[in-house]
Amino acid sequence: MKRSSRPSSKAKSALNYTLLAIIGGVFILGVGIGIAFSSTTNVNAQNVASREFLDRSVANPELCVQYGASAMVVESYAYITMNPFNVYVSQPSMHPGCVIRNTNWSVLERMNVVSSNEVRNCRNRLNTFGFMGDINNDPKVQCIYQNQADDNNFLAPQGGTGVGNNAPESNRF
């Protein structure tokens, strides 16, 4: 009588149940660690971690969401000396702000925060408007340029070109 080197069906069955138990345990452990991590994450003014937090932080959230997008405004100043040539940069400060779609500029004109001349100049340069502060109480409104010329390096692997293609600069907000 010849003996088979294959394990019996009982051994196969025990192996399958053991493997399933291990995989199930790893899954449950992963879910537990994920819940623990997400419940200890602090979202406050020092840690802007979500689009929803940014949307709630702007002075006019309804206006921003309806006519544009909320944004983080980085304010910094550069000082350049010529003799000797040096560049100095101030500490940046972060402010909640809003970028208005170019199709909604009439809202800014109706609120008297931009003039028709400012709209014409901004449109001639193919820009859009952004503002900081309360739109009803002396906001800081600027004609801003959308720059998409550089790749998003957060999506690009080291030395790679990134996930997908970035839109060309001619696409306007």
Question: Could you tell me the mean pLDDT of each successive run of 10 residues in the chain, 173 residues long?
Answer: 58 72 84 73 55 82 89 89 90 90 89 91 87 90 79 59 50 54
The C-alpha atoms of residue 36 and residue 15 are separated, in whole angstroms, by 32
Question: Residue 113: its pLDDT value, please?
Answer: 92
Output the pTM of the full model: 0.56
pLDDT of amino acid 98: 93
Distance, CA of 81 to CA of 87 (rounded, Å): 7
DSSP secondary structure code for residue 102 in this structure: G
Report the chain's C-alpha Rg in angstroms: 28
Predicted local confidence at residue 14, as pLDDT: 64
CA 3, distance to chain mean position in Å, is 65
- The whole-angstrom separation of Cα 106 and Cα 131 is 15
Asked if residue 58 lies in contact with residue 96, where contact means CB atoms within 8 angstroms, the answer is: yes
User: Distance between CA atoms of 115 and 117, rounded to whole angstroms?
Assistant: 5
pLDDT of residue 127: 87
97 phi, psi to nearest 5 deg: -150, -170
DSSP collapsed to 3 states, 62-74: HHHHHHEEEEEEE
Give pLDDT, residue 114: 92
